[in-house]
Amino acid sequence: MLRIATWNVNSVRARLPIVTAWLATERPDILLLQELKCETDAFPHESFTDLGYHAVVVGQKAYNGVAIVARRSLDIDRPLTVLPGDDTDGQARYLEATVAGHRVASLYLPNGNPVDSEKYPYKLRWLARLRAHAAHLLASEQSVVLGGDYNIIPEPEDVYAPEEWRGDALFRLESRQAYRALVHLGLTEAYRALHPVVPGQAPAYTFWDYQAGRWPRNQGLRIDHFLLSPRAADRMEACTIDRQPRGLDKASDHTPVVLTMRD
């Protein structure tokens, strides 16, 4: 079995005690990180090395930043450090590499709010670029695992109050349509494929805002996803959301999602 986790940590340095404790306990083979909020050279490699891991990092000052962390025994090969399609985009939001025979990406999609600013068209352009690149990856017929913070609420069941989020960049129709167009290339969204919506069941969220008591009220969003190519989906065994780290003191506003793949 191969276990791959994705986690928006909202500053890797501020979150280091929580992230390293979780890694030491859960021991995933691969950990995809988002929102490092540090420059590439400031990534705390030693803390991961001490636990038997190594990392490839794409950072920038203060904002964004993504990494692929893997067990030292697993090489991180042929890294791609920018999402193709816009040479002028300097934001550190995409990292892809080959690990354990899978083409794995750690991605951090733009939030896009407010929708009447230039941030929203940037989000839609980023989604279009991701779709074009995903089509290219699918054509290669590799096992592809695209994990990260998509900043997309796919369906009303994935948010505590859909009517309040109707106009938000994470849930508005254009965003969801662009995400659906990506999925409909032939990708499988792991969590929902394994946990179909059942009326009356407890909702599944991966993010709870720091503000307004969203965590204690369990008013969250499901915005962290794994999208799998057919070769990867064939090996999908389990996908779980680990809520435990969100309840800790000094927690990230996101919690890890863990994908288990058969060998």
Partner DNA sequence: ATGGTAGACCCTCTA
User: How many residues of this chain bind DNA (CB under 7 A)?
Assistant: 18
Residue from 21, 166, 212, 234 touching DNA (CB under 7 A): that is 212
Q: How far is the CB of 118 from DNA (least distance, A)?
A: 9
Contact track, DNA, 54-83, x by CB under 7 A: -------xxx--------------------
The smaller minimum CB distance to DNA, of residues 220 and 228, is found at: 220
- Under 8 Å CB-to-CB from 73, ≥6 apart: which residues? none
Q: How far is the CB of 13 from DNA (least distance, A)?
A: 4
The smaller minimum CB distance to DNA, of residues 76 and 150, is found at: 150
User: For residues 88-147, which are near DNA according to CB under 7 A?
Assistant: 110-111, 113, 119
Beta-bridge mates of residue 105? 96, 146
The smaller minimum CB distance to DNA, of residues 252 and 260, is found at: 252
Residue 38 in contact with residue 11, Cβ under 8 Å?
Answer: yes
Residue 66 in contact with residue 82, Cβ under 8 Å?
Answer: no
240 binds DNA (CB under 7 A): no
Answer positive or negative: Cα dihedral of 160, 162, 165, 171. Answer: positive
Name the DSSP letter for residue 261: E
13 binds DNA (CB under 7 A): yes
The smaller minimum CB distance to DNA, of residues 55 and 228, is found at: 55
User: For residues 241-260, which are near DNA according to CB under 7 A?
Assistant: 250
Cα distance between residue 106 and residue 69, in whole Å: 10
Cα distance between residue 257 and residue 157, in whole Å: 17
Q: How far is the CB of 14 from DNA (least distance, A)?
A: 4
Residue from 33, 37, 100, 144 touching DNA (CB under 7 A): that is 37
User: For residues 164-203, which are near DNA according to CB under 7 A?
Assistant: none
Closest to 94 in 3D by CA, of 130, 66, 59:
66
Cα distance between residue 19 and residue 26, in whole Å: 10
Hey, how many other C-beta atoms are within 10 angstroms of the C-beta on 168? 17
- Under 8 Å CB-to-CB from 219, ≥6 apart: which residues? 160, 161, 208, 209, 212, 213
Residue from 46, 196, 198, 211 touching DNA (CB under 7 A): that is 211
The region of 13-21, 75-83, 172-180, 235-243 touching DNA under the rule CB under 7 A is 13-21
Residue ranges binding DNA (CB under 7 A): 10-11, 13-15, 37-38, 61-63, 110-111, 113, 119, 210-212, 250
